[in-house]
Amino acid sequence: MEIVVIDGYTLSRDDLPWDRIEKLGNLTVYDRMGSDAVVEAAGKADIVLVNKVNIPSEIINQLLRLKFIAVTATGYDMVDIEAAAKRGIPVSNVPVYGTDSVAQFVFAFVLDFCNQISVHDSAVKAGQWAGAKDWCFWKTPQALLAGKKMGIVGFGRIGRRVGELAHAFGMDVLAYSPRGGALPEYGPFSWKTLPELFGESDVVTLHCPQTAENAKFVNGELISRMKPGALLINTSRGGLIDEEALALALNQGIIAGAGVDVASIEPIREGNPLLKARNVRITPHIAWSAFEARKKLMDVTVENIEAFLAGSPIHVVNAHLL
């Protein structure tokens, strides 16, 4: 069985070996490549593992030996699942692995804005505390989360975990989900429409997949509903936000700040307006990347391959098309 990983670097680095997958077949691992190199690299592959490289129908139809695609992520929009299904190729993803990692990262953004530890650490190390007249000082206002409102757009596994953490901080939780769902056990909690949620929340955090229908749904009109002191956090998909509108809102002081771990095009382009916007924290799509989360991602990928080899594939995202 020929197994080819076409972009394995961001998952494994040097701290997470491929040894369990090596036991399942003849394994070839490429750190990274463009879509134009996939056919040559995986032309003899029975199984392809992919994270972010686009595999459209024209590539799938040239991989004549291909029998299974394992996506080493939850999102699978990079694979044409319909084209795979037409050839009888199941596509499996990893539905749950980074819930805690991403939820924790949301609060890394939020707490950074609230307390700005690094600003004060730098001030102390620059001698400002040693030379102070008083026993304490602060460079930025210190904000308390208790009593404030956390607005969560998308109330799946990650959104619900963020809600639990927000509740633990003493925040009221507001949520928007097209499908609703079971009420959490804690309170205060309430379902809101998008305009209500953006208008009432002190922090708005996005936890929904990107589709053709919701691209740039966080636009200037929706942002303008936010409180002047509110924060917008995005650890989901960059294309959910109109980045020009967000940069304008930040520069005009319409909202207090934003934390984004994703961009509309990744890696982020030099001309992205958020790079020069005021009061924005930008991280390079790392909310998912805690070692424990990546290990779980690898473990479930192994399980997906083993299940396929056993004749009973699991986590198949195109099962309804096969």
Q: How confident is the model at residue 180 (pLDDT cuts 50, 70, 90)?
A: confident
CATH code for the domain defined by 2-97+291-321: 3.40.50.720
Average pLDDT, the chain: 97
Query: Which carries the bigger pLDDT value, residue 82 or residue 14?
Result: 82
- Domain boundaries of the chain, sorted by first residue: 2-97+291-321, 99-282
State yes or no: is 285 an active-site residue. yes
Q: Is 90 exceeded by the pLDDT of residue 47?
A: yes
State yes or no: is 164 an active-site residue. no
- For 299, the enclosing helix (H) or strand (E) is helix 291-309
State yes or no: is 213 an active-site residue. no
Domain at 99-282: CATH architecture = 3-Layer(aba) Sandwich (3.40)
Q: Is 90 exceeded by the pLDDT of residue 211?
A: no
d(C-alpha 215, C-alpha 37), whole Å: 29
| From 160, 285, 294, 315, the catalytic residue | 285
Backbone phi and psi for residue 306, each to the nearest 5 degrees, phi listed first: -60, -40
CA distances from 187 to 10, 155, 167, 266, 296 (A): 38, 15, 7, 37, 31
* Domains 2-97+291-321 and 99-282 alike in fold: yes
| From 22, 164, 266, 292, the catalytic residue | 266
d(C-alpha 155, C-alpha 106), whole Å: 14
Model-wide pTM > 0.75: yes
CA angle 298, 269, 262 (to 5 degrees): 40
| From 207, 237, 294, 315, the catalytic residue | 237
pLDDT at 13: 82
pLDDT at 61: 97
